[in-house]
Amino acid sequence: MPIKRAALLLLAAATLLMPAAQSAGAAEDLKIGNGRGTIEFSIGESRIFRTTGGFGTWQGNVQVNDADIPKSAVEVTVQTGSLQMMDLQQTDMLKDSDFFDVDRFPQMTFRSDKVERLGDDTLKIDGFLTLRGVTRPMTFNVTVTDRKPNAAPGARYASFRAKGKIKRSEFGMTKYVDLVGDDVEISIRTDAWR
């Protein structure tokens, strides 16, 4: 009888501890964007032809798995119609069919395929960018700052800065490539919250 009771107690204890063990290795679901961050881009080799802009409406989900970083994941959706330039004429031109073609392609997306820790606060995220119906590989180098693992639900968990680069011609945006350039630098700054 005592052996049976001890076995039952061990089983009960294991059952109670199992959720805690699972949660320790589980991914943390976070939100980014939605007015708490910026996506900006710049193109041009010289200051004379250098052009900068950004997108006002975008959001994303981040799954952070500290116990197993490669199991972390990122997904971002950008509304291309929210494109903003300093010059209204430039904004209209880039929204047109030669560039972002926002009427036909109202969204662009990035989905991670591989997450790698480079240092205590730095990550490399490989994934795929879909723009104008074309999907190409893309890499972001990410810095994580001001992390608060014990943040309450709805509160800021950390801040992220990400930088990457694409060739716009690979997405069908070839107009003025010889004049302005092909490489587009993309910069994301955002808070992540629970």
Token couple for 2: 């005592």
pLDDT-derived band of residue 18, with 50, 70 and 90 as boundaries? Answer: very low
Alpha carbons 49 and 86: distance in angstroms, whole number: 14
DSSP 167: E
Residue labelled with tokens 């990457």: 164
Cβ neighbors of 128 (< 8 A, separation 6 or more) are 110, 111, 113, 135, 136, 137, 138
pLDDT-derived band of residue 46, with 50, 70 and 90 as boundaries? Answer: low
What does the pLDDT average to over 68-79? 97
- Most distant CA pair in the chain: distance in Å? 87
| pLDDT attached to residue 61 | 97
| pLDDT attached to residue 2 | 53
Token couple for 96: 């047109």
Q: Render pLDDT for 86-145 as a digit per residue (tens, 0 to 9).
A: 999 999 999 999 999 999 999 999 999 999 999 999 999 999 999 999 999 999 999 999
| pLDDT attached to residue 25 | 54
pTM: 0.84
Beta strands in 50-180 (DSSP E): 51-55, 58-64, 73-79, 83-85, 107-117, 122-131, 134-145, 156-167
Question: Do the Cβ atoms of 111 and 74 come closer than 8 Å?
Answer: yes
pLDDT of residue 182 exceeding 70 = yes
DSSP 3-state of 154: coil
| pLDDT attached to residue 48 | 61
Q: Render pLDDT for 151-161 as a digit per residue (tens, 0 to 9).
A: 888 888 999 99
**Of 5, 38, 10, 19, whose CA–CA distance to 159 is shortest?**
38
What does the pLDDT average to over 54-69? 95
* Mean pLDDT of the residues in the chain: 88
What does the pLDDT average to over 10-36? 60
Cβ neighbors of 131 (< 8 A, separation 6 or more) are 100, 105, 108, 171
Token couple for 64: 């952070």
Alpha carbons 142 and 23: distance in angstroms, whole number: 25
Residue-range domain boundaries for the chain: 26-193
What does the pLDDT average to over 180-185? 94
Q: Return the CATH superfamily for domain 26-193.
A: Lipid/polyisoprenoid-binding, YceI-like (2.40.128.110)
Residue labelled with tokens 């716009």: 168
Alpha carbons 96 and 63: distance in angstroms, whole number: 34
What does the pLDDT average to over 147-173? 93
Find residue 192's DSSP bridge partners: 32, 158
